[in-house]
Amino acid sequence: MSIIADSVTKLYGKQKALDNVSFSVNKGEIVGLLGPNGAGKSTMMKIITCYLPQNKGKVSVCGYDTENQSMEVRKRVGYLPENNPLYLDMYVREFLKFIAGIHKLGANTKERIRDVVDKAGLGPEIHKKIGELSKGYRQRVGLAQALLHSPEVLILDEPTSGLDPNQIVDIRDLIKEIGKEKTVLLSTHIMQEVEILCDRVIIINEGVIAADSPTSELKDISDTKKVVIVEFQKHVDTDEIKSIEGVQDVIVNDNIYNIIPETNADLRPEIFKTASSKNWVILSIGYEELKLEDIFRKLTS
Ligand code: ADP
Ligand code: MG
């Protein structure tokens, strides 16, 4: 197991930022820590990377305890902090050399810099000052810095936040590539990002885990129902629709009826039958799964 968080609680004064949080990340997984602002994502990441101590519970990375064996943990963890703080006056190569010094890479420095510059696609920018780079390239510098000491585990705190759509795609591709070799825990408040990048999603809200499941199964665990969306030619009494077997609720917007089933059964045949027996004219009928976005809102609202 690459990361284990066991009953972690973190208080800032009286405020509980994490409340008895437990999860684990397997070697080689890309896991998304998804939650709205203030959920506790950054706090969790600071604890995993030994920047903050927890008040209760245990965290281990590659079998090493973050409190008692923090040097061992730091060797194995690469960290891209939120907002990617960088020294804007430093040249890219100079900055990477500086980070290499912190990690005491010694004789390996040149080779490691060459490798991360290549991986992060920084080649053309290496002679520039960090302050002269676009936000997308600064993010690449942040990733390069996190990869420099060849860590097994990468912790990326909102790695695509603040980037333009093209840069987002580039950085996501880069993370996918990196994820082939490393264990990655990344945080985001964007559901789509999790769908694109992650094998598994851990949803956190107000310091509590609301869901933890493979991305592909998230829809199942949240007991997804398919809503039937019907446009009738004329107004139909919603009570009559509600009396159709299997219907839980009806929400009407203009002439569009969102018919919510009690179970995840397909309501369309029953609706058709009822409509034809009552001479309701159906102009259109659709069938829509609750989206991950909705599930996220449901779990975190
Ligand atoms: P996220 O990264 O999910 O947005 P954070 O971990 O940054 O959430 O914050 C979790 C909660 O802890 C928030 O309510 C935030 O205001 C609070 N918090 C974070 N850092 C501090 C701090 N240094 N001092 C006091 N409160 C903090
Ligand atoms: Mg944060």
pLDDT exceeds 90 at position 36:
no
CA quadruple 253, 257, 261, 266: dihedral positive or negative? negative
Total residue count of the chain as it appears in this document: 301
Q: Is the CB of 17 under 6 A from ligand 1?
A: yes
pLDDT exceeds 70 at position 301:
no
pLDDT tens-digit series, residues 173-213 = 999 999 999 999 999 988 778 888 999 999 999 999 988 98
pLDDT tens-digit series, residues 15-30 = 999 999 999 999 999 9
* Nearest ligand 1 atom to alpha carbon 18: 10
Q: Which of 86, 18, 42, 16 is nearest to 185 (CA)?
A: 42
Q: Which ligand is nearest to the CA of 82?
A: 2
Q: Is the CB of 12 under 6 A from ligand 1?
A: yes
| Range picked from 188-197, 228-237, 263-272, 281-290 for highest mean pLDDT | 228-237
Q: How confident is the model at residue 299 (pLDDT cuts 50, 70, 90)?
A: low
pLDDT exceeds 70 at position 223:
no
pLDDT tens-digit series, residues 116-172 = 999 999 998 999 999 999 999 999 999 999 999 999 999 999 999 888 888 999 999
Nearest-CA residue for ligand 1 atom 13 is 38
Whole-number pLDDT of residue 264: 75
Q: Which of 58, 44, 33, 67 is nearest to 202 (CA)?
A: 33
Nearest-CA residue for ligand 1 atom 25 is 12
CB 64 within 8 A of CB 72: yes
Q: Is the CB of 14 under 6 A from ligand 1?
A: no
pLDDT exceeds 80 at position 298:
no
Other CB atoms within 10 A of residue 190 CB: 17
HEC sequence for 166-195: HHHHHHHHHHHHHHCCCEEEEEECCHHHHH
- The rounded Å distance from CA 204 to ligand 1 centre is 13
Residues contacting residue 211 through CB under 8 Å, at least 6 positions apart:
201, 202, 203, 218, 221, 222, 299
Q: How confident is the model at residue 230 (pLDDT cuts 50, 70, 90)?
A: very high
CB 174 within 8 A of CB 203: no
Q: How confident is the model at residue 103 (pLDDT cuts 50, 70, 90)?
A: very high
Q: How confident is the model at residue 291 (pLDDT cuts 50, 70, 90)?
A: low
Whole-number pLDDT of residue 88: 94
CB 226 within 8 A of CB 247: no
- The rounded Å distance from CA 9 to ligand 1 centre is 13
Please give the average per-residue pLDDT across 75-88, as a whole number. 94
pLDDT tens-digit series, residues 65-81 = 999 999 999 999 999 99
Q: What is the DSSP letter of 16?
A: E
Give dist(CA 66, CA 49) in Å, integer.
Answer: 7
Across all residues in the chain, what is the average pLDDT?
91
Task: Pull the structure tokens for residue 176.
Answer: 């996918």
